[in-house]
Amino acid sequence: MKTARADWRYRLAITSRAVAAVGGGYALAAGFTAALSLLLAQCMPRVEAVITATMLAWVVYVIAAGWAFYARTAWGAWGGTLLPALVLGACAWAPQWMKAAA
For 39-76, how does the pLDDT look when each residue is reduced to its tens digit (9 = 90+)? 999 999 999 999 999 999 999 999 999 999 999 999 99
Q: Could you tell me if residue 3 is inside a domain?
A: no
Q: Could you tell me if residue 6 is inside a domain?
A: no
Q: Could you tell me if residue 93 is inside a domain?
A: yes
Q: Could you tell me if residue 71 is inside a domain?
A: yes
The percentage of the chain sitting over the pLDDT mark of 70, rounded to a whole number, equals 94
Q: Could you tell me if residue 8 is inside a domain?
A: no
* pTM reported for the whole predicted model: 0.85
Q: Could you tell me if residue 5 is inside a domain?
A: no
Q: Could you tell me if residue 40 is inside a domain?
A: yes
CA distances from 46 to 51, 53, 72, 76, 83 (A): 9, 11, 39, 35, 27
In the chain, the number of structural domains is 1
- Which structural domain, as residue segments, surrounds residue 76? 13-101
Q: Could you tell me if residue 79 is inside a domain?
A: yes
